[in-house]
Amino acid sequence: MKLSNYQLLALLQLVSPSLPVGAYSYSEGLESLVEQEIITDAGGLDHWLRRELRYGAIQLEGGVMVRSHSCLLTQDWQGLNHWNQWLSATRETRELRQQSWQMGDSLLKLWTKVQPEGRAMIEQITPPCHYAIAFTLAATLGQIPPESFILGYLHSWATNMINGGVKLIPLGQTQGQQLLFNLSPLLDKITAQLLSSSEDDLETCSWGATLASMYHETQYTRLFRS
């Protein structure tokens, strides 16, 4: 589907790294993986991001975004709050739960000012609100179709993780941009899968990611909040 210019602009605003929700302060365990020398170069980061996209928590978020978008379109507020609670229950560590809540609540607060006409919809959510749900809500207000805003969400997640990798490993800016560019086919493929996934498909295979986040919670020296 071709986006109108207004839809495209709304999406660009939401996926911009300058959206003030604090994404830059989170690494989702990457900081501890670098400290433990589990990820030491661009190849290691690339492998990690690909595994996370196919088997990690972002799969659950994407699946919930598809479902909460339907809830928003049908004004099923109970369903929307169910999926928000569902995400809280599936967040496997405290830090990852806090991250998603902080970013989600920040985005909702921001969006009541950016699009005041969305206030009634925003008030239907019982806080704390996960970022994936807040993002879906803002995208729905911008009338962006799910195949575009989920793709954008995955892209902004990958951008943030790569920015973290550039700082932590460290990598050159060029290497970071190469990594991001080369992820495009996978981002496209995962988006398509998420749109047709059943509730049974919401599962993960990511012991390493959970352990990395658990280690980060007690990491002595840290730049990032997750």
Q: Using CB under 8 A, list all residues that contact another protein.
A: 33, 38-39, 47-48, 51-52, 55-56, 85-86, 88-90, 92-95, 97, 202-211, 213-215, 217-218
Cα 69 from Cα 115, distance rounded (Å):
18
CB of 135 to another protein, least distance (A): 21
**Nearest distance from residue 124's CB to another protein, in Å?**
17
Q: Which residue lies nearer to another protein by CB, 52 or 105?
A: 52
- Give every CB contact of residue 53 below 8 A, 6+ residues apart in sequence: 59, 154, 158, 183, 186, 187, 190
Shortest reach from residue 14's CB to another protein, in Å: 27
94 vs 119 by CB, closer to another protein: 94
**For the chain, what's the residue count?**
226
**Min separation Cβ 88 and another protein, Å:** 6
Q: Would residue 141 be called left, alpha or beta, if left means φ above 0 and alpha means ψ between -120 and 50 degrees? A: alpha
Q: At what angle do helices 77-90 and 94-114 cross, to 10 degrees?
A: 150
Based on CB atoms, which residue is closest to another protein, 14 or 53? 53
State in angstroms the smallest separation of the CB of 50 from another protein.
9
Euclidean distance between CA atoms 223 and 168, whole angstroms = 9
Task: Name which of 156 and 206 has its Cβ closer to another protein.
Answer: 206
| Cβ closest to another protein, residue 54 vs residue 147 | 54
* Neighbour count for residue 20 (Cβ, 10 Å): 10
Sequence-ordered list of residues with C-beta below 8 angstroms from that of 140, at least 6 positions apart, any chain = 69, 72, 73, 121
